[in-house]
C-alpha cells in the first residue's frame, strides 16, 4: 500500500501526531469516570480557558459537521437564518446538517473574494428584506482560515463584528483550521476569536493531529445553556470522553497544536514557492495558511492522477487543492513538484 501519495488531498488524511497519541495512551491507564466527568476533560477544559484568556464553556464533539451544526442550532430558532459564504463548509460539505440540527434555519449565501464574507455583503443580505416572510438573519458564520486557504485579518473581523452588533447578529466561527490561522497571523487565540466578536468557535483537533475530536467553545456563555443536552440528543456525547479530551490536552500542553499548524503552513509556503517557479502553473488564491490552490493544465492533472497522486479538483475547472498537515515532509513536496514539472512538460 502506498500511503504517501494521498497526503496532499486533505489535512485529515494525516495520522495521529505523537503528542496526541502519547496523551491518549496516558489516559488509557486503568478506568476513569465516563461522559466527561474525568480529570482529562476537566484539565483540557481549563486549558482552553487559559489559552483563550476567558472563562468560556467548552464541549467536545466527534467531528466538525456536528460541532458546526449543533452550535449553529444553539444560536438559532428554526425561523432564523445564518449568513455564510457560498463556499463555506456548512453550505457545501455538511449534507444539510446545520438546517437539520436547527429544524430548518436557512443558510443565506453571500459572495466575496477569496472565500471571505465582507461587511457589505452581510449588510445587503440583512437589509434586503425585513418582512415576516423572510427568515430572520440571526448568525454570521465565518471560517478561519477559509475554505480556500485565506485569512480574515483582524480589521476584516472587526468590521464583521461591527455589522453584527449593528444588526444584533451572533458570530459563529468554523475553526477547522483555527490553529493554522493563529500560527499564520501571529495573533493570540483570543484576538482572533472573542476579542473580534466571535460568540462560538468550533476548534478542530482532527486536522491538527488528533484521531478525532473538536472543541466547541462558547465565549458567550449564555448561548451554551443546555448545550450538553443538545450534544447528547445528537449522539455526540462520547461516553469515554477522555479519549477526545486527553489528546486535546496533549496538543495544548505540549504546544503541539501550534507547532503542527506552523509546520503545515510552512510546508504550504514551500510548495507555493516551488510552484510559482513553474511555467504553466498559476495560483488561484493567496496562500495564507496550509492550503495551496493552483491551476494546472488538464493533461498534467490527468498524468498526476495516473501516477497515484491524490488531490481535490472541486474548485473550478483546472483547479487543484494541495493541503499540508503536521506530517507533510519536504521530501514528499519535492517529489510532487518534480512530478508536476514533468507532467506539464509532457503533452
Ligand atoms: C474539515 C472541515 C470541517 C469538519 O468536517 P468533518 O468531516 O465533519 O469533521 C468543517 N469545516 C471546514 C472548513 C473543514 O475543512
The DSSP code for 140 is E
pLDDT of res. 194: 98
Nearest to 53 by CA among 188, 252, 251: 188
What is the Cβ-side half-sphere exposure of residue 194, based on CA atoms within 13 angstroms?
17
Is residue 127 located within the same domain as residue 44? yes
* Cis preceding linkage at 145, omega within 30: yes
The grid coordinates of residue 176 equal 477547522
Collapsed DSSP state (helix, strand, coil) of residue 196? helix
Only one residue has cell 475554505, namely: 147
Q: What is the CATH number of the domain that holds 277?
A: 3.90.1150.10
Shared domain check, 131 and 29? yes
Q: What pLDDT, on a 0 to 100 scale, did the predictor assign at position 1? A: 46
Please tell me whether residues 214 and 157 are part of one structural domain. yes
The single-letter DSSP state of residue 76 is -
Residue 96 and residue 52 share a domain: yes
Measured from the Cα of 94, ligand 1's closest atom is 8
Which phi-psi region, left, alpha or beta, contains residue 187 (left: φ > 0; alpha: ψ -120 to 50)? beta
Distance 31 CA to ligand 1 centre (A): 31
Q: Whose CA is nearest to atom 6 of ligand 1?
A: 64
Q: Which of 79, 49, 47, 45 is nearest to 59 (CA)?
A: 45
Q: Virtual CA dihedral for 292, 297, 300, 306, nearest 10 degrees?
A: 80
Asked whether the whole model's pTM tops 0.75, one would answer yes
- 179 and 108, same structural domain? yes
**Helices and strands (DSSP H and E) totals, the chain:** 13, 10
Residue 165 Cα, ligand 1 centroid: separation in angstroms?
Answer: 27
User: In this predicted structure, what is the pLDDT of residue 315?
Assistant: 66
Last residue of a domain, one of 222, 254, 286: 254
Q: Among the atoms of ligand 1, which is closest to the Cα of residue 62?
A: 9
Domain count along the chain? 2
Distance separating alpha carbons of residues 292 and 189, to the nearest angstrom: 23
Q: Ligand 1 atom closest to Cα of 11?
A: 1
Residue nearest to atom 3 of ligand 1 (CA): 64
CATH classification at residue 83: 3.40.640.10
Residue 146 DSSP label: -
Is the domain of 144 the same as that of 229?
yes
Please tell me whether residues 134 and 200 are part of one structural domain: yes
Distance 87 CA to ligand 1 centre (A): 12
DSSP codes of every residue in 294-346: EE--HHHHHHHHHTT---B--SSTTEEEEE--TT--HHHHHHHHHHHHHHHH-
Q: Tell me: do 30 and 130 sit in the same domain.
A: yes
Looking at 191, 222, 254, the residue that finishes a domain is 254
Q: Do 236 and 273 have their domain in common?
A: no
Report the nearest-CA residue for atom 14 of ligand 1. Answer: 176
Residues 287 and 204 in one domain: no
Ligand 1 site, CB within 6 A = 63-65, 89, 143, 147, 174, 176, 206-207
Cβ(292)–Cβ(149) under 8 Å?
A: yes
Q: Which of 221, 254, 287 is the last residue of a domain?
A: 254
CA of 177 from ligand 1 middle (Å) equals 9
Give me the domain span that covers residue 106: 18-254
The rounded Å distance from CA 90 to ligand 1 centre is 8
**Residues in the chain where the model's pLDDT stays below 70:** 1-3, 315-318
Which numbered atom of ligand 1 lies nearest the CA of 12? Answer: 1
Report the C-alpha dihedral over residues 208, 209, 212, 217, rounded to 10 degrees: -40
pLDDT of residue 314: 74
> What SS3 state is found at 7?
coil
CA of 88 from ligand 1 middle (Å) equals 10
Same domain assignment for residues 23 and 9: no
Q: Are 24 and 75 part of one and the same domain?
A: yes
Amino acid at each position: 500500500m502506498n500511503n504517501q501519495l494521498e497526503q496532499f488531498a486533505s489535512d485529515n488524511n494525516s495520522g495521529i501526531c505523537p503528542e496526541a497519541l502519547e496523551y491518549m495512551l496516558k489516559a488509557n491507564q486503568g478506568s476513569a469516570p465516563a461522559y466527561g466527568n474525568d480529570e482529562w476533560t476537566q484539565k483540557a477544559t481549563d486549558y482552553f480557558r487559559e489559552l483563550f484568556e476567558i472563562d468560556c464553556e467548552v464541549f467536545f464533539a466527534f467531528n466538525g459537521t456536528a460541532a458546526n451544526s449543533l452550535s449553529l442550532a444553539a444560536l438559532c430558532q428554526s425561523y432564523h437564518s445564518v449568513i455564510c459564504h457560498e463556499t463555506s463548509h456548512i453550505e457545501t460539505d455538511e449534507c444539510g446538517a446545520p438546517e437539520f440540527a436547527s429544524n430548518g434555519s436557512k443558510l443565506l449565501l453571500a459572495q466575496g473574494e477569496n472565500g471571505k464574507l465582507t461587511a457589505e455583503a452581510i449588510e445587503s443580505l440583512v437589509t434586503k428584506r425585513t418582512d415576516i416572510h423572510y427568515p430572520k438573519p440571526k448568525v454570521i458564520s465565518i471560517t478561519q482560515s477559509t475554505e480556500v486557504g485565506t485569512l480574515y485579518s483582524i480589521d476584516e473581523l472587526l468590521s464583521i463584528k461591527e455589522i453584527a452588533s449593528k444588526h444584533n447578529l451572533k458570530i459563529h466561527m468554523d475553526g477547522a483550521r483555527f490553529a493554522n490561522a493563529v500560527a499564520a497571523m501571529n495573533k493570540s487565540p483570543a484576538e482572533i476569536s472573542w476579542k473580534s466578536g466571535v460568540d462560538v468557535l468550533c476548534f478542530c483537533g482532527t486536522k491538527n493531529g488528533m484521531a478525532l475530536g473538536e472543541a466547541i467553545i462558547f465565549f458567550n456563555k449564555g448561548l451554551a445553556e443546555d448545550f450538553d443536552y443538545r450534544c447528547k440528543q445528537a449522539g455526540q456525547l462520547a461516553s469515554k470522553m477522555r479519549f477526545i479530551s486527553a489528546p486535546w490536552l496533549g496538543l495544548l500542553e505540549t504546544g503541539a497544536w501550534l507547532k503542527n499548524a506552523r509546520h503545515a503552513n510552512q510546508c504550504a509556503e514551500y510548495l507555493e514557492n516551488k510552484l510559482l517557479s513553474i511555467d504553466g502553473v498559476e495560483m488561484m488564491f493567496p496562500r495564507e495558511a496550509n492550503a495551496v490552490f493552483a491551476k494546472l493544465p488538464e493533461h498534467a492533472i490527468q498524468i498526476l492522477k495516473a501516477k497515484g497522486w491524490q488531490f481535490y479538483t472541486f474548485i473550478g475547472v483546472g483547479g487543484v487543492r494541495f493541503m499540508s498537515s503536521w506530517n507533510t515532509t519536504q521530501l514528499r513536496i519535492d517529489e510532487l513538484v518534480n512530478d508536476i514539472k514533468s507532467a506539464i512538460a509532457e503533452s
